[in-house]
Structure 1
Amino acid sequence: MAGLWSFSGRHRILHLTWFAFFLTFVVWFNFAPLATAVQADLGLTEAQLRTLAICNVALTVPARIIIGMLLDRYGPRLTYSCLLIYTAIPCFAFALAQDFGQLVISRLALSIVGCGFVIGIRMVAEWFSAKEIGLAEGIYGGWGNFGSAGAAFTVPTIAMAGSFLAAGQANWRLAIALTGIVSAIYGVIYYLNVSDTPPGKVYERPASSAGMEVTSQKSFWALLAMNIPLVGILGVIAWRLTKVGFLSQTGLYVTWLLLMALYLFQAYNIWRANKPLMTGQKRYPAEERYKFSQVSVLEIGYLACFGSELAIVSMLPAFFERTFSLSAALAGGIAASYSFMNLIARPGGGLISDKIGSRKWTMTVVTALMGLGYLLMSGANGDWSLMFAIGVAMAAGFFVMASEGATFAIVPLIKRRVTGQVAGNVGAYGNVGAVAFLTVYSLLPAGEVGDRIFFQMLGVVALISASLCAFCLREPVGSHEDEPEGLAHSGVAAQVYGQGQIDP
């Protein structure tokens, strides 16, 4: 990574890709900084605002699965470019919305943009070797993830500037639309300036893009089981929409039936992709196998870290405002500093994973420290000094984002040709966590008691995840070495696991 600032070769690809991710996060989070303006303009209730926050992460769950399949099939260059161009459509729809129903529909469409993260994971993995994949993916994820803070600072500024062109509250519409325009323009720039792989390297594609490829019958059943929460959380969102009158009770039942049909359709596609394996017509050689249990542990880990980050970002301003009697502006500024940790923490987690010699124990330790940080935050009250509370929140945030970096230092090393689908499944669990945590938070009593229970819940989930990492996660062998000559183009080097990790 010595040439990081050279903006040439693979480092140029890294910079272009993290900025693509940055823009998708600006678009994804362009509503939160303008929530009060939208509320005043359209007369929304507090319950409707909370529902829009949940809608903002709703379709990201299935989108990350679908985009992972498209990514492995068509490559990150085309997939990322199309997603960036697509963002303009729901941004304009949201900017032109006239009622709550239109806001919900456009926000659901915008939630698809949150799947962009998955695409860059594969792009970066194609351009960087195993021994530095943690830092490279950490820079991509951390600097791109900073788009949420970028939205918090830039979108209101654009809205204020827009007041010279449009009277009243209409300036929020200009700001939302402009983020989509910028993203779409960059989609064209990205397509013209990157390639899927370095010169001479073959882009590996799975035999079938219908469903995720597994290498043992045991893993097939595990994959079906781990897909249940991905569909189930959409049922929770549908239930939430009935509470604000967007869906009727009949509509809820119809939605649940459709989600059951969706799960069965997914299961059928997974069967199609793995039919030769399940019927005994195909058996993978040892060097081609991987254990899906490793993916499952990473999914739960990402649920704990990224899921909690999205939830924390949504409630932290109100937490500081209530607990320390701050103004809304000051509390928002303090809470926004939480996202600044992405600039160093996520690359830091990846760098530690590269350097310390054990990716498993890096993830275990930082996830456990994240849990302890949340448990400490649960004790925050008005008797604490404000600076100490900020310090605790920032420390917890560091370990949250370091855990994210450590997670995706392992993801590209599972099996290269299905990296998109593995990243899609793991990333989707982050959104499952976000929806689940936000839903629980909406049901807790308002104020200090609810905040305490919320932080305790996040801490316990993180400690459970750390325990799973300690006892179930395996260390990828060779993950701190350059790929051997002759294997660099085949991807086999990043797939080989140690003794006891190969499925029978």
Structure 2
Amino acid sequence: AAVFSLPIIASFFPEEIGWRYAVVLSGILCAIWGVIYFIFAQEVLGKSINFKTGFEHNIEVTSKKDICLQVLFLIPIYGAMATLVWKLSGHPLQLLSSNTFKILITGILFLYIFNMTQTVRSNLQKIDGQVSSEKKYEFKQIIILSMIYALAFGSQLAVISMFPQFLESTFKLSVATAGMLGSSFAFMNLISRPAGGWVSDLIEKKRTLIFFTSGSMIGYIIMSQINSSWPLWSLLLIAFGCSMFLQAGTGACFAAVPLIR
């Protein structure tokens, strides 16, 4: 709803400042909802104190091989943050000075070393003891689910950020019209994501994930062929179809998480 309504709100104001008013209105609505949630939401008595968070807690693994996989899996996470800092320091955006770049990269490296050390230390202590068979699992399951979620949800965010501009430049649409049409890619989120989890409960979860992932790949291949000669109705049809598979794949990914252990 927000993706569709923000371009409409921005269209009531001059083009160069319309997006500012739309973002401000969105922030005000979020603040109001936050107050409502704070007033009316209640803690689960007797259970909320059991949810502990802190730097000393890590994902538990059950073998030394999985500890190595977990440490390796941290590299792309912190590498992505380092890449963002690098791109903001003159490659291509010059938003960070050279000294700020060095400080941030050093901080990211320190966080990685700290997280890696805590991961190895906390898990080695537990692995040295006897791990029951019902608690054993393979860490590669988490890696596979993370990659599927990156495909389903991460690529959706990438498309939403680029699709309206592509429509504007390719089909010579106004900014507001391109924004509203571009939001069609996320329109199926409300239905497709819970539907993906529901289908995953009816069918084998592995097959469901493969089916939705394959459908998403086919959808992206077709979308890569879009050009100015396409009618808008066919473009929207392809966008709806690809989005449906992506959102359903996200829901199916959520449905598979409890089965890891």
**TM-score of Structure 1 vs Structure 2, range by shorter chain:** 0.7 to 0.9
Structure 1 residues 378 and 347, CA gap change in structure 2 (3 angstroms): same
Q: Does residue 386 of the first structure (1) align with residue 232 of the second (2)?
A: yes
- Residue in structure 2 matching 1:270, options 103, 112, 119: 119
| Aligned residues of 2:9 and 2:22 also touching (Cα < 8 A) | no
2-structure distance, mates of 1:332, 1:251: 35
2-structure distance, mates of 1:366, 1:337: 19
Q: Per-residue deviation at 1:295?
A: 0.1
Q: TM-score, normalised by structure 1?
A: 0.46
- Residue in structure 1 matching 2:177, options 330, 344, 367: 330
2-structure distance, mates of 1:397, 1:275: 42
2-structure distance, mates of 1:381, 1:170: 31
- Residue in structure 2 matching 1:179, options 11, 29, 50: 29
- Residue in structure 2 matching 1:410, options 242, 256, 259: 256
2-structure distance, mates of 1:173, 1:384: 32
Deviation string for 1:269-306 (max 9, x for gaps)? 2123213135x2x1211011111110000111111111
Quote the residue 1:153 is aligned against. 5
Quote the residue 1:195 is aligned against. 44
Quote the residue 1:249 is aligned against. 98
2-structure distance, mates of 1:204, 1:259: 27
| Aligned residues of 1:309 and 1:400 also touching (Cα < 8 A) | yes
Structure 1 residues 322 and 294, CA gap change in structure 2 (3 angstroms): same
Quote the residue 2:221 is aligned against. 375
Quote the residue 1:237 is aligned against. 84
2-structure distance, mates of 1:412, 1:298: 11
2-structure distance, mates of 1:185, 1:311: 31
Structure 1 residues 318 and 177, CA gap change in structure 2 (3 angstroms): closer
Quote the residue 1:426 is aligned against. none
2-structure distance, mates of 1:159, 1:188: 33
Q: Per-residue deviation at 1:158?
A: 9.4
| Aligned residues of 1:349 and 1:401 also touching (Cα < 8 A) | yes
Counterparts of 1:290-369 in structure 2 under 5 Å? 290-356=137-203, 358-369=204-215
Structure 1 residues 226 and 306, CA gap change in structure 2 (3 angstroms): same
| Aligned residues of 2:10 and 2:19 also touching (Cα < 8 A) | no
Q: Per-residue deviation at 1:156?
A: 6.2
Q: Per-residue deviation at 1:267?
A: 1.0
Q: Per-residue deviation at 1:382?
A: 1.6
Consecutive unaligned residues of structure 2, counting only runs of 5 or more, are: none
Structure 1 residues 169 and 410, CA gap change in structure 2 (3 angstroms): closer
2-structure distance, mates of 1:253, 1:179: 38
Counterparts of 1:428-467 in structure 2 under 5 Å? none
Counterparts of 1:47-58 in structure 2 under 5 Å? none
Q: Per-residue deviation at 1:154?
A: 5.8
2-structure distance, mates of 1:204, 1:237: 32
Deviation string for 1:313-349 (max 9, x for gaps)? 0011111222222222222111112211101111111
2-structure distance, mates of 1:333, 1:397: 15
2-structure distance, mates of 1:393, 1:341: 10
Structure 1 residues 174 and 334, CA gap change in structure 2 (3 angstroms): closer
2-structure distance, mates of 1:338, 1:197: 42
Quote the residue 1:34 is aligned against. none
2-structure distance, mates of 1:400, 1:276: 40
Q: Secondary structure at the match of 1:408?
A: helix
Quote the residue 1:67 is aligned against. none
The total of aligned residue pairs comes to 257
